[in-house]
Amino acid sequence: MKQKLLVLTTTFPRWQNDPDPPFVYELVRRLAANFDVTVHAPHYPGAETDEEMEQIKVHRFRYFLEPFEKLAGSTSILPTLRQNKLYYGLLPFFLTAQFFSLFLLVRKSRPTIIHAHWILPQGFFAVMMKTFFGIPVVVTAHGADVYALQHSLFKAAKRFALRRADKVTVVSSALREKIVHDICSVPAHIIPMGVCSETFAPGKQAADIKKKHGVSGKVILYVGRLSEKKGVRYLIDAMPAVLAEFPDAALLVIGTGELESELQKISGSKGLGDHVIFVGGVSNRELPAYYCGSDVFVGPSVQAQGGDTEGLGLTFVEAAMSGCLIIGSDVGGIGDVIENNKTGFLVPEKDSRAIAEKIIYALKNPNKVEELAEQGRKKCIEKFDLEVISKKYTSLIRAVTQ
């Protein structure tokens, strides 16, 4: 009989072909081969409260009137709160409902182990369940839970969760260093989230991307939430210099978020017209073709107000596995993916000039780009392929439950 694994997360597909990041889903889908998996996640308007996705049982807890249950979903919780202060009024309902829903689920199902994604609030609640029921806990830190929420009360809650967890994992070396120096000294295993190297591979139906969006020249691609820490405005600021060298080039911006309207206004104010195309949300099934149809992928992440920044950046991994050259800011855990001048390029954060220079260099030197992209794909398959990651988590979970 399989051991029961209960996964706590606030990022999980709400329905089929949801454009939200699927990294937790893709991991637990593979873990389901060895464990009886149940996922506990927040509800969102239009989503099922209880359903089964392949071999995964999903329970989405209700916390308010359905039309207002948007605290976690198309945008992560912290950006949602910054965008609309009224959502702070939902927080007590959200946290209370999450706790009691989790308590009832654990009491009923008696899982063998709990895996909590993000230290707060999931990790905190998970170790409370450990106190009540004696169930071992693995806590995974992703980024915002470490870099943001720096108030002393939040830090105390983080220490409580991390010190009482049976195992702690982090998605990058930068996160482990931040935890040890700023929160508490606990052993932390570096196990990133993974990407399927068969799904994200060169030549994935890329031919129609330029035609679909009316692009005749080079394609620069961004994929991710349109939030402060992603730094998309600095990429838009870099485009006039790129267009001076490559007048037919275009930037495709894939994603949605609280800064979408503002970024569109910035693009319009610079007269970029059809050279910056806001594609909106794209299903994960369609993404590989965009990576393969692009010449350069750029992730211009920054450290946001409050300290939040990139924990790792799986879009860099997806792009590299797809054979696309990757350019990223030298912040957070991005350095775990990009080895500067060997698998891609790192640039200083908030430096539009440096971004433009690297894009122009890449577009002018296709042979060098091919070499870097090849090395980037090789490294990412070795480090981030989902089969590799799922085996690591399977071993770690089994070690805790033995």
Strand 296-299 to 325-329 pairing: parallel
For the segment 141-170, what is each residue's pLDDT rounded down to a tens digit?
999 899 988 889 999 999 999 999 999 999
In 3D, which of 53, 46, 49, 61 has the Cα closest to residue 8?
61
pLDDT of res. 210:
87
Share of the chain above pLDDT 70, in %: 99
For residues 129 and 108, is the Cβ–Cβ distance under 8 A?
no
DSSP string, 210-278: HHHHT--S-EEEEES--SGGG-HHHHHHHHHHHHHH-TT-EEEEE---TTHHHHHHHHHHTT-GGGEEE
Tens of pLDDT along 324-360? Answer: 999 999 999 999 999 999 999 999 999 999 999 999 9
CB count within 10 Å of CB 275 equals 22
Nearest partner of 298 among 382, 354, 342, judged by Cα: 354
Residue 204 has pLDDT above 80, yes or no: no
* DSSP H stretches of helix in 304-365: 314-321, 352-364
Amino acid at 252: L
- Under the banding of pLDDT at 50, 70 and 90, the label for residue 136 is very high
Span 283-297, mean pLDDT? 93
Nearest by Cα to 21 from 284, 288, 324, 390: 284
Q: CA-CA distance, 233 to 228, in Å (whole number)? A: 9
Strands lying side by side in the sheet with 219-223: 276-280, 250-254, 219-223, 296-299, 325-329, 345-347
Q: How far is CA 219 from the centre of its chain?
A: 23
What band does 188 get if pLDDT is binned at 50, 70 and 90? very high
Q: What are the helix and strand counts (H, E) for the chain?
A: 15, 14
Q: Is the omega angle on the peptide bond into residue 121 within 30 degrees of 0, that is, cis? A: yes
Q: Which pLDDT does position 149 carry in this prediction?
A: 84
Averaged confidence pLDDT in the chain: 94
Across the range 76-86, mean pLDDT stands at 82
CB 127 within 8 A of CB 161: yes
Q: Whole-structure pTM over 0.85, yes or no?
A: yes
The reported pLDDT for the residue numbered 248 is 96
| Residue among 203, 192, 205, 230 nearest 380 (CA) | 192
What does the pLDDT average to over 96-116? 98
User: Where is pLDDT greater, at 206 or 393?
Assistant: 393
- Tell me the pLDDT band of 206, cut-offs 50, 70 and 90: low
Mean pLDDT of 101-108: 98
Does residue 207 register a pLDDT over 70? Answer: no
